[in-house]
Structure 1
């Protein structure tokens, strides 16, 4: 069957189960918006947990069964599956989530079956190129295609809106827009950066390495400003709280010698992007934030989601090897050692490699600015998905 579509009238369904609060829904929400805005596709996003989704889309009504935002229809995926599903051109099963049994049951009788795509997690590992785009024949005769995002021309590519870097350039050169953003976050006083200070965003999992680095930053000779959305990262900084404080408070700033911590509210994705653009270095977690840190064109540390038997370290190592190809050997070794130390909670190594990286920060900045063009390989994920569907 030819599944080629008229992108102006196509209808796609994306199914997503929420894992780790924001990671999976963050990726699928960006993809749904881009397919809608850049390609004119009618997208229905099926999500099982609207409460977590609400944190990155405050306009969302967690109690609504059906709603529309940014041109995307959002359905609350409940069990049992109570809505009526109208098959479209494409059905995307995001990150190995299982389709509702009700859809599986009606699938064999569909006269025009959608192209069924299993969108997997992003990886720079070599096997991705070999597995991307392969069909999988299920016992009942159904065919599902595997789509692997990645960094090579043979992979499924990376999520990146077509006008993202144009927006970024405009924002970074417009002081008024930056002031408006800081005002929304409640931190207008950060609009004038201290000349010798370093501004670091932190969106990580709890980390002993982060605690160790915070003590190092406290004792430094120049100010360090941490901009931290309220969440798990702050658990690693509780040593800064006074005895009568039970937790950090959104909108408040805290200081310990040269270390300044600013607690931001959780915010929409567009404002999170601006946080990454604004800071000098970004510490990020998961997949969505990891990719947005690369598009920010700034040095970063990726706190990858931990997996059993340290499988995540293989994924981290594969990416670092890919990312470091253009770097001088010494710079690459230092950055990789710091990232590994952070992910292995090696407190001594984290404190050792951080100042060494600062000695190479000019090269890291130059590389970060050039990296997006190299990583995209002239094709973002949404574009490659659309082309895959057109080829049928």
Structure 2
């Protein structure tokens, strides 16, 4: 099959991150599907994929093309399946061409653990022009579209974690000081802090210091400036440069504790199998907290971890510090480590999103 994926980059890198992963996984499937990825913000795309150029149409692999989605949009023949990521509205001229070709139209929705998602997944969306359009919801249960996961991802993770030299080389490439790398090799613990503005980052530093064990906190460049270059007797904070998707996965794999934000980073942190704190994208009327609570209810994490995540997302410094103190102490820490590993193993038993999507499209094309 030939897939068109339309991606409008709204903010940050979550939209293009999801679409680029999906494009690669469709192209790498056993059937080797052809994929055309339409992106409106090429410069943002270049931040996560260095091979992307600025030309209007380019081939990144033998079966992936990238089209710069401009106004007016380039005239191209639609594929068998057209994926509209996150209700981004493909150009009207392209929709007319889809009608002539008889393309299947998929509305790829945002990730949610809320119960209603199962009822709306794979439901048709009636179109006055006669096109067949369906909602496709990613999710955490077998009654949803599943999660993006490369076929050999967990094997890659295990191989990476088994070779300490790869971790040291990655950190060196990110200009982490040599004495910090040596400390990590000697048993210091590592946290990755990737959150939205306002996250109680200072509370995290104080809580890690209270463990009386050495910690290194890696912070992507430009985030959480209030804690950059903080040094306490047991905590070193190191700012690191922006990394591509593969580098981000490896940072997650090599960290003992991951603080992540948005949907794409959450899924990658889940596949790392390590304790994580999710900073969900903030919405009006605290709708995001309802989504967070639904996800926590499915997670199998200890109650104390759920309380920490709620405090973290409410940006409550005192409460976050109190709950961090609780979960970082033994035996609570061991319980969290075990629960995180179980959740990853459970999710890995389900088919991945790209597989579910191609199966659905093959039945409906």
Q: Normalised by the size of structure 2, how large is the TM-score?
A: 0.93
Instruction: Tell me, yes or no, if the aligned pair for 1:44 and 1:74 is still in contact at 8 Å.
Output: yes
**Residue 113, structure 1, aligned to residue 107, structure 2:** no
Q: Are residue 95 (structure 1) and residue 86 (structure 2) matched? A: yes
| Whole-angstrom CA distance in 2 between matches of 1:94 and 1:274 | 26
Q: Which runs of 4+ in 1 moved over 4 A?
A: none
- The residue number in structure 2 matching 1:27 is 18
Q: Deviations over 1:283-304 (max 9, x none)?
A: 0000111011100010000000
Q: 1:52 aligns with which of 22, 28, 44?
A: 44
Aligned residue in 1 for 2:308: 338
Tell me how far 1:205 sits from its aligned partner: 0.6
2:242 match: secondary structure? coil
CA distance in 1, matches of 2:4, 2:151: 21
TM-superposed deviation, 1:41: 0.8
Report the alpha carbon displacement of residue 195 of structure 1 after superposing the two structures with TM: 4.9
Equivalent pairs, count: 358
Q: Tell me the equivalent position of 1:197.
A: 188
Q: What's the CA shift for 1:236?
A: 4.2
Q: Distance in 2 between matches of 1:287 and 1:90?
A: 24
Alpha carbons 1:11, 1:43 under 8 Å: kept: yes
User: Does the CA contact (< 8 Å) of 1:208 and 1:236 recur in 2?
Assistant: no
Worse overlay, 182-191 or 151-160: 182-191
**Consecutive unaligned residues in structure 1, runs of 5 or more:** 1-9, 241-253
Judge conservation of contact 2:104–2:131 (CA < 8 Å) in 1.
Answer: no
Q: Say whether residues 1:135 and 2:135 are aligned partners.
A: no
Aligned to 1:163: 152
Map of 2:299 onto structure 1: 323
Are residue 37 (structure 1) and residue 13 (structure 2) matched? no
Q: Secondary structure at the match of 1:134?
A: coil
- Counterpart Cα distance in 2 of 1:206 and 1:214: 16
Match of 1:381 in 2: 353
Query: How far is the alpha carbon of 1:58 from its aligned partner?
Result: 2.1
1:349 match: 319
Given that 1:219 and 1:257 are in contact with CA atoms closer than 8 Å, whether structure 2 keeps it comes out as: no
Partner SS, residue 149 of structure 1: coil
Kept in 2: contact 1:207–1:236 (CA 8 A): no
For the 8 Å contact 1:151–1:376, the answer to whether it is kept is no
**SS in structure 2 of the partner of residue 136 of structure 1:** coil
Q: What SS class does the counterpart of residue 289 from structure 1 fall into?
A: helix
Q: Specify every segment of 5 or more residues in structure 2 that has no aligned partner in the other structure, as ranges.
A: none
1:261 aligned residue? 237
Q: What's the counterpart of residue 328 of structure 2?
A: 358
The structural deviation recorded for 1:143 is 2.6
Q: Which residue of the partner structure matches residue 252 of structure 2?
A: 276
Quote the RMSD (CA, aligned, Å): 1.8
Q: Which residue of 2 aligns with 1:235?
A: 225
Assess, with a 3 A threshold, how the Cα gap between structure 1 residues 35 and 131 changes in structure 2: closer, same or farther.
same
Q: Distance in 1 between matches of 2:234 and 2:61?
A: 42
Match of 1:3 in 2: none
1:77 aligns with 2:47: no
